[in-house]
Structure formats: C-alpha cells, structure tokens
Amino acid sequence: MIPSDDPGIEASYHLLVARVEAAGVKGWAQARLDALGGPSLESLVYLCKFCFFTALLTKAQIGGVLGADRAEVKALVRSWYDDHRAKGCGTC
C-alpha cells in the first residue's frame, strides 16, 4: 500500500473524483468526501471502496491506485464486504 505521504495521492484522488462525476454518482459520495476534507490516503481508500461498489473500479484497478498487491487488495475488499454486512448499505 502506498504511504500516506505519497505525492501521487492527489492526482489519483482527482482522477477518481472525475470518474465518479462522469458516472453521475458524485451526490452519493459527496457528504463523505466533504467530511474527509480532500486528498489523503484515507479519502483515496474511500473513493476506491465507493468506486468498487458502484462498479467503476475492479480489484486490479484498486491495486494500481493504492499500490497494493493482490493479497492486500483481497483483504481490503473483504473488510469492505464485512463492513457492509455488519452496518448495511450506506457505509461508503
């Protein structure tokens, strides 16, 4: 996983926000994005989660964005599904 001070976070963040906007679903994510306060590793992970659950990113693409290997992506996605099962829709 990329470090929290990686200089590519901001560019990746804006790229994913543009993808979400192009898909017309930014309204679904806006409150959480506002709460996260802009580009950061946490907001990038959130955007990956949101894009995965809205079918805008694949697991492989998440790995590329986050610089995560296959095992890391698998664990991350599993945690997202566990969170979804425990809390219901709206966790992202």
Q: Would you list the domain boundaries of the chain?
A: 9-87
Tokens at residue 79, please?
């945690």
Q: What is the pTM of this model?
A: 0.91
Query: 7 pLDDT band (50/70/90 cuts)?
Result: very high
- List pLDDT tens digits, range 17-71: 999 999 999 999 999 899 999 999 999 999 999 999 999 999 999 999 999 999 9
Mapping DSSP to helix (H, G, I), strand (E, B) and coil, where does residue 87 land? helix
Q: Which residues of 11-32 are buried (b: 16+ CB within 10 A; e: fewer)?
A: ebbeebbebbeeeeeeeebeeb
